[in-house]
Amino acid sequence: MMKTLKITKKFYPAALWKRVIAYFLDSIIINIIILYPFNKYLSNIGNDIISILKSEIQLMAGATVSIILITYLYFALLELTTKQTIGKMVMNIYVASLRKKLSITQILLRNITKPFTIILAVDTLYMIFKKINQRLFDVFSGTVIVEQGVIMK
């Protein structure tokens, strides 16, 4: 008698190191996207910071808002459409909902800290100190980062 294999999918919380590498890769991509259009402006900052501060505060504010929006949209749009960013794709991890289906609200809420390094660090420290696999805003949004394994029985 032949035995048939039953193949099932099992989801595991993603390891912290995979999440860190994925975020690092995403940061490189975002910096390339951001630095390209602002390269000429950013190269002048070191040369004459006083004149820039006096005459171009609005431009700097606009650049700051643009950087925040680009960063937020990068994470939110990719996770909304594919449940992964490019960094997550490389690390084979993705966003999953603890509810029925991943919603726009969950994606928007979980990524709110991404453009703000200090706030994101505090958000991530929650995960480390609580010894759970969710950042604080993952908890708020009801999401978790997982990797998929296959079990053969």
Give Rg (Cα) of the chain.
20
Give the integer Cα–Cα distance in Å for 104 and 2.
47
61, 102, 109: which is closest to 82 by C-alpha?
A: 102
- The overall longest dimension of the chain from CA atoms, in Å, is 84
Burial string for 26-61 (b: 16+ CB within 10 Å, else e) reads beeebeeebeeeeeeeeeeeeeeeeebeeeeeeeee
Give the amino acid at 140: F
List the domain boundaries for the chain. 7-152
What does each C-alpha distance from 41 to 5, 33, 56, 58, 95 come to in angstroms? Answer: 61, 14, 10, 13, 36
Cβ proximity of 83 and 94 under 8 Å: yes
Strands (E) across 7-121 are located at 7-13, 94-97
Please report, in tens digits, the pLDDT of each residue of the chain (153 residues total).
566 655 555 678 899 999 999 999 999 999 888 777 766 665 655 555 566 565 566 677 777 888 899 999 999 999 999 999 999 999 999 999 988 899 999 999 999 999 998 999 999 999 989 888 899 999 999 999 998 764 444
Q: What is the pTM of this model?
A: 0.78
